[in-house]
């Protein structure tokens, strides 16, 4: 579904991403691991068109998108949940969800499947986003990204600052989305995560980044035997 080939990215004279190549496949959770500052978030922003790449290609469902704008990539079917959630604190839960439908016709309904995935949101539709707990805000951010029915979901550290019970709920949702998506069809998931146990539990495939390049990759089931925990430990 997503194919990244030999991308390079620079900030000024600093070479941030170095010949990065990988794939994210439908029905799989691809986990990207690495210490702070190695280029993980920059890679996600490059995928979404928020920062430009110097060279290389990004292909989504057979079409090159590395020259597309962020909103064109969203319309193509890529949902993005940024680090820190970035919900609209003064808007209600319902209004935040409708922001995920911004490029759809005005009367497009909020998909009811979102309330099946995150029941708490239905109970809090008219509460302002800023009044929710951190875990509830994270669920809202994921639901907002899902509202338009993406086929690839990109998540940047969704467990950051979240209580353990909601981390488990988010993990179940991610696995369900990979298997069934929003419409019964498998979805591709790209997950950047610092919480190693959460990442290992979900990973169908893993990538380890160091200084802007991948230093290890493989099936999720091999992470323990290959000592990936020690490789990414701070």
Distance of CA 200 to the CA centre of its chain: 16
- Split into its structural domains, the chain has a count of 1
The Cα angle at residue 140 between residues 71 and 66, in degrees rounded to 5: 25
CATH code for the domain in which residue 184 is found: 3.40.50.300
pLDDT single digits (tens) 149-187: 999 999 999 998 898 989 999 999 999 999 999 889 999
Which of 135, 154, 149, 133 minimizes the C-alpha distance to 40?
154
Task: Give the pLDDT of residue 12.
Answer: 83
pLDDT greater than 70 at residue 225: yes
pLDDT greater than 80 at residue 234: no
The runs of H, that is alpha helices, within the chain are: 40-48, 70-76, 93-99, 113-117, 119-123, 134-146, 164-180, 196-202, 228-232
In this structure, the number of other CB atoms found within 10 A of the CB of residue 210 comes to 15
The answer to whether 156 touches 82, Cβ cutoff 8 Å, is yes
Q: Regarding beta strands 14-24 and 2-11, do their DSSP bridges make them parallel or antiparallel, or are they unpaired?
A: antiparallel
What's the CA gap between 230 and 215, in Å, rounded?
13
pLDDT single digits (tens) 27-71: 999 999 999 889 999 999 999 999 999 999 999 999 999 999 999
The token duo for 188 is: 């591709």
Give the gyration radius of the chain's Cα atoms.
17
pTM of the model: 0.93
What's the CA gap between 50 and 98, in Å, rounded?
22
pLDDT greater than 80 at residue 5: yes
What's the CA gap between 167 and 69, in Å, rounded?
32
C-alpha distance from residue 98 to each of 74, 90, 126 (Å): 15, 14, 12
The token duo for 196 is: 């190693």
Region 10-39 average pLDDT:
94
pLDDT single digits (tens) 94-142: 999 999 998 887 788 999 999 999 999 999 999 999 999 999 999 999 9
What's the CA gap between 90 and 129, in Å, rounded?
6
Q: Regarding beta strands 205-210 and 29-33, do their DSSP bridges make them parallel or antiparallel, or are they unpaired?
A: parallel
Residue ranges making up the domain that contains 75: 2-232
What's the CA gap between 197 and 142, in Å, rounded?
20
What's the CA gap between 118 and 176, in Å, rounded?
12
């Amino acid at each position: 579904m997503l194919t990244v080939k030999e991308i390079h990215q620079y900030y000024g004279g600093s070479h941030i991403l170095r010949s990065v190549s990988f794939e994210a496949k439908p029905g799989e959770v691809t986990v990207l691991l690495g210490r702070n500052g190695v280029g993980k978030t920059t890679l996600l922003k490059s995928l979404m068109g928020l920062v430009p790449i110097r060279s290389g290609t990004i292909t989504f469902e057979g079409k090159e998108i590395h020259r597309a704008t962020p909103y064109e990539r969203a319309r193509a079917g890529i949902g993005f949940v940024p680090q820190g959630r970035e919900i609209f604190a003064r808007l209600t839960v319902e209004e935040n969800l409708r922001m995920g439908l911004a490029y759809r016709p005005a009367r497009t309904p909020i998909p009811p499947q979102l309330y099946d995935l995150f029941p708490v949101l239905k109970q809090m539709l008219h509460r302002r986003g800023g009044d929710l707990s951190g875990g509830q805000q994270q669920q809202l951010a994921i639901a907002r990204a899902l509202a338009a029915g993406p086929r690839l979901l990109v998540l940047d550290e969704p467990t950051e600052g979240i209580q353990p019970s909601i981390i488990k709920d988010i993990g179940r949702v991610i696995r369900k989305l990979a298997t069934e998506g929003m419409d019964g069809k498998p979805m591709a998931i790209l997950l950047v995560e610092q919480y190693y146990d959460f990442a290992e539990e979900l990973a169908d495939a893993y990538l380890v980044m160091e200084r802007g390049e991948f230093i290890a990759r493989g099936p999720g089931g091999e992470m323990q035997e290959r000592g990936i925990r020690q490789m990414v430990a701070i």
